[in-house]
């Protein structure tokens, strides 16, 4: 008698096997293999028995598939918990002001002539001997230019007084800020940060993590883009 499984046996096994919709891939593979193994042992030729090494190898492969599937389930659970934690953390930022990469400034005039500007920030990879701030209009015209002095590495927030280089009140509206940082006479890379208010949170999906809604002007950003909470 041959040690291969009769086609009728395979057909009956396939008809009675578990559905892929009702069992995991590894469980279905394992069940089918064990069923086929038992049937093959029952139909094997006593003078030409099955190869034990081949059977052991197949069992090891199935166990590997099952282990990978269990690991994937565990990792998914950890990822879901992390996403839930990020969402909870992000919702605490709703209504708060934050500094994110950008160069926008807003200037408003108060009822009694006060000038109100949104903060801006500087992110430096290393300390700078001097940082110069350049305020420009939407058209690129320089409105004011002044020195802050030395700034340490990291993130620092500042405010513009809303006045021109001549000391006059600038017109209300939108402006841009440019940073020029130097150390020992050499330029230092500086990232400019602008102020925005978190208006909402978008939970993570399969394409990314939690997103913070900063309004129509600034759009949505990830948590990793929040450089400082004001």
Looking at residue 203, its pLDDT comes to 82
The string of pLDDT tens digits covering residues 146-155 is 999 999 999 9
> Can you tell me the distance from the alpha carbon of 43 to that of 207, in angstroms, rounded to the nearest whole number?
51
How much of the chain, in percent, has pLDDT values that exceed 70? 65
Looking at residue 27, its pLDDT comes to 66
Question: In what helix (H) or strand (E) does residue 31 lie, and over which residues does it extend?
Answer: helix 25-43
Bridge partners, 220 (sequence order): 213
Looking at residue 223, its pLDDT comes to 86
Residue 36 has pLDDT above 80, yes or no: no
The string of pLDDT tens digits covering residues 177-192 is 999 999 998 999 999 9
The string of pLDDT tens digits covering residues 45-104 is 665 665 566 666 766 666 676 667 666 777 666 555 555 566 777 888 899 999 999 999
If pLDDT is split at 50, 70 and 90, which confidence band does 106 have? very high
Pick from 34, 33, 24: nearest CA to 66: 24
Q: What value does the mean pLDDT take over residues 126-143? A: 96
- Average pLDDT along the chain: 80
- Residues 6 or more apart in contact with residue 46 via CB below 8 angstroms: none
Pick from 28, 44, 37, 43: nearest CA to 59: 37
Contact 163, 170 (CB under 8 A): yes
């Amino acid at each position: 008698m041959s040690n291969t499984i009769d086609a009728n046996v395979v057909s009956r096994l396939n008809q009675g096997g578990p559905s892929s919709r009702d069992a995991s891939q590894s469980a279905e593979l394992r069940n089918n293999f064990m069923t086929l193994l038992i049937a093959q042992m029952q139909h094997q030729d006593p003078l030409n028995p099955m190869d034990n090494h081949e059977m052991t190898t197949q069992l090891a492969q199935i166990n590997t598939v099952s282990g990978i599937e269990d690991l994937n389930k565990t990792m998914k659970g950890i990822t879901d918990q992390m996403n839930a934690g990020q969402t909870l953390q992000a919702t605490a930022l709703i209504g708060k002001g934050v500094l994110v990469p950008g160069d926008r400034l807003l200037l408003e005039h108060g009822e009694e002539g006060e000038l109100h500007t949104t903060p801006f920030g500087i992110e430096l990879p290393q300390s700078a001997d001097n940082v110069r701030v350049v305020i420009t209009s939407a058209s690129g015209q320089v409105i004011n230019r002044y020195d802050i002095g030395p700034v340490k590495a990291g993130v620092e927030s500042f405010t513009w007084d809303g006045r021109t280089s001549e000391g006059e009140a600038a017109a209300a509206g939108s402006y841009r800020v440019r940073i020029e940082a130097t150390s020992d006479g050499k330029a230092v890379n500086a990232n400019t940060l602008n102020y925005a208010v978190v208006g909402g949170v978008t939970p993570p999906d399969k394409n990314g993590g939690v997103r913070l809604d900063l309004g129509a002007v600034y759009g949505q950003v990830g948590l990793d883009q929040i450089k400082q909470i004001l």
